[in-house]
Amino acid sequence: MTVKDILDAIQSKDATSADFAALPIPESYRAITVHKDETEMFAGLETRDKDPRKSIHLDDVPVPELGPGEALVAVMASSVNYNSVWTSIFEPLATFGFLERYGKVSELTKRHDLPYHIIGSDLAGVVLRTGPGVNAWKPGDEVVAHCLSVELESSDGHNDTMLDPEQRIWGFETNFGGLAEIALVKSNQLMPKPKHLSWEEAAAPGLVNSTAYRQLVSRNGAQMKQGDNVLIWGASGGLGSYATQFALAGGANPICVVSSDQKADICRSMGAEAIIDRNAEGYKFWKDENTQDPREWKRFGKRIRELTGGEDVDIVFEHPGRETFGASVYVTRKGGTIVTCASTSGYNHEYDNRYLWMSLKRIIGSHFANYREAWEANRLIAKGKIHPTLSKVYSLQETGQAAYDVHRNLHQGKVGVLCLAPEEGLGVRDEEMRAQHIDAINRFRNI
């Protein structure tokens, strides 16, 4: 029995749930890994010189044991997220520490503590097996998976599962991730695959779409409302391309920051009008490594006022971190919100606190999304209200190159990876709906 038989069943059109349940699970499968004995391979190098192509491997690995509440999924496609870039360059720390810590939780979680880490936090595919206690999903179901892994044994996580003390990001802080032919997930990560999308299109939004939804829309984030001015850093990138869509679909006014003409055009084609090209306009928020330049914050704020007819921003959608955070706090309007989920350029932020407290601004920390938020974000994709922003698709063996592109900011929107899917374009179940949205679905393709 090989993964080829699984692929044949998925492509056969008439395979039933019973047929999938009867398929033997192969002993091994191909997966993208990083290796524990290589975590020091980039020691001494600058972050930008650490090359994911050197640390990312394609290995044959054994299929993990299936536990209660879990599912084994045949992965047709996945996508590259920035967390896989962090794993592959072993920054800000090697992810094997997370696996060791998870391995100590129970006899079953010990499975995750291995000398290799199968990475990837998105998937679209087909359920192969479910463990004891799983009733909502069955073999043969076509699914996407969000990346929140929780134990929920403590009361802390029962208002908002992101607050579970054992909250982890699947494929980053757990093993058996989505950049592989088979993945192990908790069944409460599963959601229906949007029927009008191909496997690679369905896999692309998951992590970033859910994160942007919580950060911007949810009551746990900035609670964006109609008419809000929303400053979006990296507005055509992974997170930003969904934040821009949420702002537009929610009646807000996105002010999109990008770094090239081409990216400005993409934002325009999504419907944004206020666009700042940070490269062309040459903002230098830091005079040197340790000193910011408040005159540049002011120049940036004036530009925003020009674009909004004199208004300041209600919300800043933050993730670049150290390089932009001082400016973000400065340009937010009185009583406004800076909502941050990351620190790509450095996690020790500096800002002038007088502008925060005197103007009653708030900084909100946001991280991924709970199941409900991920479900609502996926529902918007399934209804054709928000669209995938897939630009380029790689094969599983090219994942290192895909991660390199994302690390070096050479990509647009999201970068996809075919796992079991032999080619792009497969898995569409609702051609009519697809035809209605085809331009939006293809907006980021091949640019």
Q: Which residues bind ligand NDP (CB under 6 A)?
A: 81-83, 207-208, 211, 233-234, 236-240, 257-259, 263, 278, 319-320, 323-324, 341-342, 344-345, 367-368, 406, 409
Residue 253 found at the interface with ligand A1D88 (CB under 6 A): no
Residue 157 or 427: the one with the smaller Cβ distance to ligand A1D88 is 157
Residue 301 or 346: the one with the smaller Cβ distance to ligand A1D88 is 346
Instruction: Check: CB of residue 179 under 8 Å from CB of residue 85.
Output: no
Q: Name the residue among 139, 167, 161 with its Cα closest to residue 66.
A: 139
- The interface partner of residue 409, options being ligand NDP, ligand A1D88, none and the CB cut-off 5 to 8 Å by kind, is ligand NDP
Look at the alpha carbons of 244, 239, 188, 198 in this order and tell me if their dihedral is positive or negative.
positive
Q: Name the residue among 173, 170, 117, 118 with its Cα closest to residue 144.
A: 170
Residue 167 or 236: the one with the smaller Cβ distance to ligand A1D88 is 167
Instruction: Check: CB of residue 308 under 8 Å from CB of residue 253.
Output: yes
Contacts of ligand A1D88 in 194-233 (CB under 6 A): 207, 211
Residue 417 found at the interface with ligand A1D88 (CB under 6 A): no
Q: Name the residue among 322, 399, 314 with its Cα closest to residue 360.
A: 314
- The interface partner of residue 187, options being ligand A1D88, ligand NDP, none and the CB cut-off 5 to 8 Å by kind, is none
Least CB distance from residue 435 to ligand A1D88, whole Å? 33
Residue 259 or 308: the one with the smaller Cβ distance to ligand NDP is 259
Look at residue 18 and give its three-state secondary structure.
helix
Of all residues in the shown chain, the one whose CB is closest to ligand A1D88 is 83
CA angle (434 as vertex; 208, 398 as ends), nearest 5: 50
Write out the two tokens for 207. 């992590």
- The interface partner of residue 106, options being ligand A1D88, ligand NDP, none and the CB cut-off 5 to 8 Å by kind, is none
Least CB distance from residue 73 to ligand A1D88, whole Å? 18
CB-neighbour burial class of residue 373 (10 A; exposed 0-12, middle 13-18, buried 19+): buried
- Per-residue string for binding with ligand A1D88, 54-93, x by CB under 6 A? ----------------------------xx--x-----xx
415 membership: H or E segment, kind and range? strand 414-418
Look at residue 229 and give its three-state secondary structure.
strand
Task: Give the span between the Cα atoms of 379 and 215, in whole angstroms.
Answer: 17
- The interface partner of residue 359, options being ligand NDP, ligand A1D88, none and the CB cut-off 5 to 8 Å by kind, is none
- The interface partner of residue 324, options being ligand A1D88, ligand NDP, none and the CB cut-off 5 to 8 Å by kind, is ligand NDP
Residue 126 or 393: the one with the smaller Cβ distance to ligand NDP is 393
- The interface partner of residue 93, options being ligand NDP, ligand A1D88, none and the CB cut-off 5 to 8 Å by kind, is ligand A1D88
Residue 368 found at the interface with ligand A1D88 (CB under 6 A): yes
Q: Tell me the backbone φ, ψ of residue 399, rounded to 5 degrees.
A: -60, -35
Query: Which residues does 143 contact at the CB level (< 8 Å), separation at least 6?
Result: 73, 124, 125, 126, 127, 137, 190, 191, 192, 193
Residue 61 or 232: the one with the smaller Cβ distance to ligand NDP is 232
Question: For the stretch 337-347, what's the b/e string if a residue is b when 16 or more beta carbons lie within 10 angstroms of its beta carbon?
Answer: bbbbbbbbeee
**β-bridge pairing 168-169 and 182-186:** unpaired
CA angle (277 as vertex; 404, 441 as ends), nearest 5: 60
- The interface partner of residue 92, options being ligand A1D88, ligand NDP, none and the CB cut-off 5 to 8 Å by kind, is ligand A1D88
Task: Give the span between the Cα atoms of 397 and 400, in whole angstroms.
Answer: 7
Least CB distance from residue 65 to ligand NDP, whole Å? 29
Task: Give the span between the Cα atoms of 429 and 438, in whole angstroms.
Answer: 14
Residues 342, 377, 386, 441: which binds ligand A1D88 (CB under 6 A)? 342
Residue 146 or 196: the one with the smaller Cβ distance to ligand A1D88 is 146
Residue 319 or 333: the one with the smaller Cβ distance to ligand NDP is 319
Residue 351 or 368: the one with the smaller Cβ distance to ligand A1D88 is 368
Contacts of ligand A1D88 in 126-185 (CB under 6 A): 147, 169
**β-bridge pairing 28-35 and 57-62:** antiparallel
Residue 33 or 241: the one with the smaller Cβ distance to ligand NDP is 241
- Binding interface with ligand A1D88 (CB under 6 A): 82-83, 86, 92-93, 147, 169, 207, 211, 342, 368
